[in-house]
C-alpha cells in the first residue's frame, strides 16, 4: 500500500499547471495505485497527482468508493457538453472547507489509463463533477477559484495555511 502525504493549500504545486506524462511504465502504474490508496486513506472520491506533490497530469476518481471501480486518467482532455449543476464541494487539499460550486452537468473526457491505453467517456451527474474537480487540479486551479468573488475572502480567512508535504 502506497499512501502518500497530501499537499495542503497554499502549497505551490497546487497552483502549477501539471506536465503531461510522457511514458507509461511500471512507475506510472505504481503512481496510479498510490493515488488510489491515498484517496481511500483520506476518505476521498478523487485525487490528482499535484495533491501529493507531483506536477504530472494524472488523477483518479471513484464517487461510489467501491474498491475496483476506480477510474485512472492520464493526460486528460475534458470538454463540457451541456447543463449546469451546483453542488457542495470539498477538497482534501483544503480541509474543512465546503462550498457550493457551479459545474457542467454533462461532460466528455478522453485520455489514457495507467497502461497507456486510450480511454474516452461521456458522463453526467456526480462523476462529471468529480472529474471536473480533479481536472482543475491539473490546471493549477482549486474549487474555491470557481466561487463568486465576494465569497473568496471569507474562504481565504478560514483556510489552514500550512504545508502537509515537502
pLDDT digits (tens, 9 = 90+) for 88-123: 999 999 998 999 999 999 999 999 999 999 999 999
Domain that holds residue 50: 12-158
* Structural domains in the chain (count): 1
Task: Kindly state the average pLDDT of the residues 61-69.
Answer: 94
Please give the pLDDT value at position 91.
97
Give the CATH number for residue 75: 3.90.45.10
Query: Which pLDDT band, with edges at 50, 70 and 90, does 148 fall under?
Result: confident
Grid coordinates given for 94:
483544503
Closest by CA to 140, choosing from 1, 10, 4, is 10
Using alpha carbons only, give the angle 141, 117, 55 rounded to the nearest 5 degrees.
30
Residue 79: inside a domain: yes
Please give the pLDDT value at position 149.
82
- Determine which one of 70, 89, 99, 134 is catalytic: 134
Closest by CA to 106, choosing from 136, 85, 77, 137, is 85
Using one digit for the tens of pLDDT, what is the confidence trace for 2-43?
999 999 999 999 999 999 999 999 999 999 999 999 999 999
Q: Is the pLDDT of residue 164 over 80?
A: no
Residue 129: inside a domain: yes
Q: How many CB atoms lie within 10 A of CB 156?
A: 13
- Catalytic: 79? no
Quick check: helix, strand or coil at residue 87? strand
Quick check: 50 and 35 in contact, CB under 8 A? no
Please give the pLDDT value at position 150.
77
Query: Which pLDDT band, with edges at 50, 70 and 90, does 151 fall under?
Result: confident
Please give the pLDDT value at position 1.
63
Residue 114: inside a domain: yes
Residue 163: inside a domain: no
The overall average pLDDT reported for the chain is: 92
Closest by CA to 116, choosing from 9, 52, 27, 5, is 27
Grid coordinates given for 127:
462523476
Please give the pLDDT value at position 99.
93
More confidently predicted of 163 and 139: 139
Please give the pLDDT value at position 156.
59
Amino acid at each position: 500500500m502506497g499512501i502518500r502525504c497530501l499537499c495542503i493549500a497554499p502549497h505551490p504545486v497546487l497552483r502549477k499547471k501539471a506536465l503531461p506524462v510522457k511514458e507509461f511504465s511500471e512507475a506510472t502504474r505504481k503512481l496510479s495505485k498510490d493515488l488510489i490508496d491515498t484517496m481511500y486513506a483520506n476518505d476521498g472520491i478523487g485525487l490528482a497527482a499535484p495533491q501529493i506533490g507531483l506536477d504530472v497530469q494524472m488523477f483518479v476518481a471513484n464517487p461510489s468508493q467501491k474498491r475496483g471501480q476506480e477510474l485512472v486518467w492520464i493526460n486528460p482532455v475534458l470538454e463540457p457538453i451541456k447543463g449546469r449543476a451546483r453542488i457542495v464541494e470539498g477538497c482534501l487539499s483544503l480541509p474543512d472547507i465546503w462550498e457550493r460550486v457551479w459545474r457542467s452537468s454533462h461532460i466528455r473526457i478522453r485520455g489514457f489509463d495507467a497502461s497507456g491505453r486510450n480511454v474516452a467517456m461521456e458522463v453526467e451527474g456526480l462523476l462529471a463533477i468529480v472529474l471536473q474537480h480533479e481536472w482543475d487540479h491539473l490546471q493549477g486551479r482549486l474549487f474555491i477559484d470557481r466561487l463568486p468573488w465576494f465569497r473568496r475572502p471569507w474562504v481565504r480567512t478560514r483556510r489552514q495555511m500550512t504545508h502537509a508535504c515537502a
